[in-house]
Amino acid sequence: MIHKRKKELRKKVQELRDALDPEQRKLLSARVAENLWRVPEFAAAKTVLFFISFRSEVDTLPIIRRALDEGKVVCVPCTNDGDKSMVASRILDLQQDLAPGNYDILEPKCDCLRPVSPEEIDVVLMPGVAFDLSGGRLGYGGGYYDRFLEKCSPRCRLIAVAFELQIVEHVPCADHDARIHNIVTEKRVIECPAACRLLPDLR
């Protein structure tokens, strides 16, 4: 039952996100990035695992460039489609270190692999299709992040970046699904879960 509900919600929200005009998506992504840098835990983080955006996701490449310029240890996923696992690999140069990997998403080249221990990561920037105010996350169904997060330190902060249209009333979650600490959209920063205190609108 929960699998069916997830599938239906995934299809609905992805269609909404895909319908965004490319120029509007670019503008909204820039607003998301501005708000993300205002999150104290992200701004102060030394080591961050970013996801490389694809299709209609919030564009993370400008955020990654700024993080590199500011001297953060920038990691991105390197995935293994066989056992659905992933490794955090440090990148030093967006142009030189990456090439299309699984699902045509940019990943570190074989000769640019620089594994970083999950325990060293301060913040994981989480991808996803839909999120709710209690920190529920609907991913893409591969389970890569769920497996990886089991190895991370309890102090690691999980921050999602998403468009406002990806915020839904309720995401069907299983007990093992990771909960997000913050969701950053073009309009606000949502703190989860507990009282779901909303920070002031940042427009």
The pTM assigned to this predicted structure is 0.92
pLDDT tens digits for 30-52? 999 999 999 999 999 999 999 99
Give the separation between CA 65 and CA 63, rounded to whole angstroms: 5
Name the phi and psi angles at 90, rounded to 5.
-70, 140
Give the separation between CA 154 and CA 31, rounded to whole angstroms.
29
CATH number of the structural domain 2-191:
3.40.50.10420
Which pLDDT value is given to residue 43? 97
Distance CA(19)–CA(156), nearest Å, equals 33
> What is the distance between the alpha carbons of residues 57 and 16, in angstroms, rounded to a whole number?
11
Distance CA 166, CA 117 (A): 31
Phi, psi torsion values for 29, nearest 5 degrees: -60, -40
- Predicted pLDDT at 201: 45
User: What are the tens digits of pLDDT across the range 92-104?
Assistant: 999 999 999 888 8
Question: Looking at residue 202, what is its pLDDT?
Answer: 45
User: For the chain, which ranges sit under pLDDT 50?
Assistant: 194-203
| Residue 30: strand, helix, or coil | helix
Give the pLDDT score at 70.
97
